[in-house]
């Protein structure tokens, strides 16, 4: 992306029409404004009430019809005389103020500091975040072999044969030989307890029936590596206890705390599948392993797709000894570092300022407050924040002439991918953005240029805030790592971060914006420019699941 384009994206000010004196938060000349407002306000209120009464009369037929809403009644609603609490420009100005105010470097640094305060007790004791693994060393990149890798993500389950061939000049060191992908929709997310693991076993059975997979081990059982996109309390390199799952999954009903390996292996055995679980890692840790296989300087990995997480390679001493309960003495004697699944998504309560839309999202969530950070930045939630704003804008400011597209009244019906498509259209007439929105959320008349302009600005405000908050989160863990290594920002070496997930990989300008905030924050802390670089790690969960098995065989 050109630096000019980035500047435009980063520019703090969006061009909005000037506010009227009476609605401005801080009036230019308070006395004069108050005086003028003192007689304008009652007059305004009188006209508002009169219009509202007329509106009720004019809308009576459509109100009756709204019990059985039809396209024509929705059209009548739209065409009826409507008054709104405020203009769209007024509302947009408020949204802009709320979403941009926290993004100044000094404020982001403060958030990073507060996050570090939240880390401290969790590094001492917590069974849901700052979770150590049994992976102490990172791969050398020379390991070789062919493995069956499983990746349970928020919206897909993938089963792949992965070939690792070590470093050869000019050749790819990791290759997916064969992969089957199964959608995880809400019906799968709603499967409770063992029903979910049965569903997995059925898919594993289908995937290994492929002749290419059968070829790997002949008649011997297949070693599997699992990348699990949820927290897990590791009990060995190949097992771990199931912890609470976010992303709307119900698989923990009646199975919470049980051994994840056994939960998957039991239905596999019932089906006589020739497989065994060799390794379990969280998907963020898998991303770190996979990226480190290619670049030994990697110490961090970020996942930002449906969910959000960061894995870090930390000195073992960064975590209290009680965190290693049950670890073999040999491991404790030999390990200098440990791969930690931070579950960063669970931090951030009272750190990140919230808006009324964030609060509404949290209140209506199945697990309120479980993952405050994720609620503000991940792909599962960006669309929902924008949807809540749209609903308010339709009802109070006349967006889409007051018509709410039918589907948008349902929670989580606006995909983050639609936001990305709207932001992507930089043309003057927004033809593409209008077409995308109208095809996914039909209105009786397509959105006007003003409507789509409003929507596009809202998407940008929501996604830019997410990119900035992610930078604050990465900065906080970077600071933690530097301190626990006994380094300073000046003496710390440059660091690469492997990044995976639809938002960080594909959302327009997201990674570039986050990188630019990171540059500001790390230099403000005294580091050389570009102390951290965000690098895409393609298919890293599936590769990482294989690398984890491979490391085991070293
Ligand atoms: C989960 C993490 C996972 C992340 C990315 C979060 O919701 O709690 O375990 O790594 O999503 O998939």
Average pLDDT over residues 453-465: 98
Closest CA to 238 of 336, 137, 165, 134: 134
CA 390/CA 408 separation, integer angstroms: 9
Note the pLDDT tens digit of each residue in 501-552.
Answer: 999 999 999 999 999 999 999 999 999 988 999 999 999 999 999 999 988 7
Average pLDDT over residues 176-181: 95
Residue 515, ligand 1, Cβ within 6 A: no
CA 120/CA 102 separation, integer angstroms: 24
pLDDT on residue 340: 98
pLDDT on residue 78: 52
pLDDT on residue 36: 41
Residue 303 CA to ligand 1 centre (angstroms): 8
Residue owning the nearest CA to atom 6 of ligand 1? 307
Mean pLDDT is highest, among 72-81, 144-153, 204-213, 459-468, for: 459-468
Note the pLDDT tens digit of each residue in 351-410.
Answer: 999 999 999 999 999 899 999 999 999 999 999 999 999 999 999 999 999 999 988 999
Residue with tokens 């589907």: 407
- Checking if the pLDDT of 248 tops 80, the result is yes
CA 15/CA 161 separation, integer angstroms: 51
- Average model confidence (pLDDT) for the chain? 87
Pocket probe mutation, ligand 1, options 127, 155, 227, 229, max atoms within 8 Å of Cβ: 229
pLDDT on residue 40: 47
Confidence of residue 62 (pLDDT cuts 50, 70, 90): very low
End-to-end distance of the chain based on CA atoms, in angstroms?
41
Q: What is the DSSP string of 318-333?
A: GS-GGGGTT--HHHHH
Instruction: For residue 164, count CB atoms less than 10 angstroms from its CB and return exposed for 0-12, middle for 13-18, buried for 19 or more.
Output: buried
Share of the chain above pLDDT 90, in %: 75
pLDDT on residue 164: 93
Confidence of residue 83 (pLDDT cuts 50, 70, 90): confident
User: What are the residues whose beta carbons fall under 8 Å from the beta carbon of 467, sequence distance 6 or more?
Assistant: 509, 510, 511, 513, 514, 517
Q: Which has more confidence, 129 or 23?
A: 129
Residue 308, ligand 1, Cβ within 6 A: yes
CA 64/CA 71 separation, integer angstroms: 14
Residue 8 CA to ligand 1 centre (angstroms): 32
Residue 249, ligand 1, Cβ within 6 A: no
pLDDT on residue 290: 95
Note the pLDDT tens digit of each residue in 284-326.
Answer: 999 999 999 998 889 999 999 999 999 999 999 999 999 999 9
* Cβ–Cβ under 8 Å, residues 168 and 123: no
Residue 247, ligand 1, Cβ within 6 A: yes
CA 118/CA 346 separation, integer angstroms: 10
* Cβ–Cβ under 8 Å, residues 456 and 434: no
Q: What is the DSSP string of 22-51?
A: TT-SS-SSHHHHHHHHHHHHHHHHHHHHHH
Distances (CA, A) of 14 to 26, 92, 298, 439, 512: 19, 10, 37, 27, 19
Q: Which has more confidence, 492 or 78?
A: 492
Residue 229 CA to ligand 1 centre (angstroms): 5
Residue 261, ligand 1, Cβ within 6 A: no
Confidence of residue 217 (pLDDT cuts 50, 70, 90): low
pTM for this entry: 0.84
Q: Which residues pair with 495 in a beta bridge?
A: 532
Confidence of residue 553 (pLDDT cuts 50, 70, 90): low
* E-strand stretches of 166-321: 174-183, 222-228, 232-236, 239-242, 275-282, 298-304, 308-315
- Checking if the pLDDT of 224 tops 60, the result is yes
Residue 282, ligand 1, Cβ within 6 A: yes
**DSSP state letter for 188:** H
pLDDT on residue 47: 58
């Amino acid at each position: 992306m050109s630096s000019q384009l980035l500047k435009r994206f980063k520019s703090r000010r969006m061009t909005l029409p000037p506010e009227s004196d009476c609605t401005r938060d801080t009036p230019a000349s308070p006395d004069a404004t108050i005086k003028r407002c003192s007689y304008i306000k009652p007059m305004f209120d009188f006209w508002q009430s009169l219009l509202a009464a007329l509106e009720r009369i004019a809308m009576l037929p459509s109100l009756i019809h709204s019990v059985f809403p039809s396209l024509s009644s929705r059209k009548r609603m739209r065409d009826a005389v409507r008054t709104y609490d405020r203009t769209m420009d007024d509302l947009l100005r408020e949204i802009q103020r709320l979403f941009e105010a926290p993004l100044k470097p000094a404020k982001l640094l403060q958030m990073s500091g507060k996050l570090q305060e939240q880390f401290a007790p969790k590094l001492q004791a917590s069974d849901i975040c700052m979770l150590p693994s049994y992976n102490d060393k990172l791969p050398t990149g020379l390991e070789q072999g062919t493995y069956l890798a499983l990746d349970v993500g928020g919206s897909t389950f993938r089963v792949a044969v992965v070939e690792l061939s070590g470093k050869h000049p000019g050749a790819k060191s990791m290759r997916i030989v064969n992969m089957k992908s199964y959608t995880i929709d809400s019906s799968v997310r709603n499967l409770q307890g063992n029903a979910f693991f049965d569903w997995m076993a059925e898919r594993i059975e289908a995937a290994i029936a492929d002749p290419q997979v059968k070829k790997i081990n002949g008649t011997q059982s297949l070693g599997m590596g699992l990348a699990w996109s949820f927290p897990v309390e590791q009990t060995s390199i190949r097992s771990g206890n199931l912890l609470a799952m976010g992303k709307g999954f119900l698989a923990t009903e009646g199975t919470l705390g049980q051994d994840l390996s056994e939960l998957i292996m039991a239905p596999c055995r019932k089906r006589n599948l020739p497989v065994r679980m060799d390794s379990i890692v969280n998907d963020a840790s898998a991303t770190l392993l996979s990226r480190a296989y290619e670049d030994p300087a990697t110490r961090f990995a970020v996942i930002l797709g449906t969910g959000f997480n960061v894995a870090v390679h930390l000195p073992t001493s960064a975590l209290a000894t009680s965190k290693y309960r049950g670890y073999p003495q040999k491991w404790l004697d030999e390990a200098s570092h440990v791969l930690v699944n931070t579950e960063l998504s669970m931090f951030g309560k009272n750190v990140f300022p919230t808006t009324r839309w964030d609060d509404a999202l949290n209140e209506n969530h199945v697990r309120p407050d479980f993952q405050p950070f994720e609620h503000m930045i991940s792909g599962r939630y960006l669309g929902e924040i924008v949807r809540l704003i749209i609903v308010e804008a339709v009802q109070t400011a006349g967006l889409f002439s007051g018509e709410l597209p039918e589907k948008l009244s349902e929670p989580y019906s606006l995909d983050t991918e639609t936001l990305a498509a709207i932001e992507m259209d930089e043309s003057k007439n927004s033809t593409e953005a209008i077409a995308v929105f109208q095809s996914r959320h039909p209105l009786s008349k397509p959105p006007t240029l003003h409507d789509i302009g409003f929507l596009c600005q809202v998407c940008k405000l929501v996604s830019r805030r997410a990119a900035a908050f992610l930078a604050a989160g990465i900065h906080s863990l970077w600071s933690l790592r530097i301190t626990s290594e006994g380094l300073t920002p000046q003496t710390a070496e440059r660091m690469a971060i492997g990044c995976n997930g639809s938002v960080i990989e594909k959302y327009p300008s997201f990674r570039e914006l986050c990188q630019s905030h990171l540059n500001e924050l790390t230099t403000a802390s005294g580091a050389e420019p570009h102390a951290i670089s965000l690098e895409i790690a393609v298919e890293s969960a599936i590769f990482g699941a294989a690398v984890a098995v491979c490391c085991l065989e070293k």
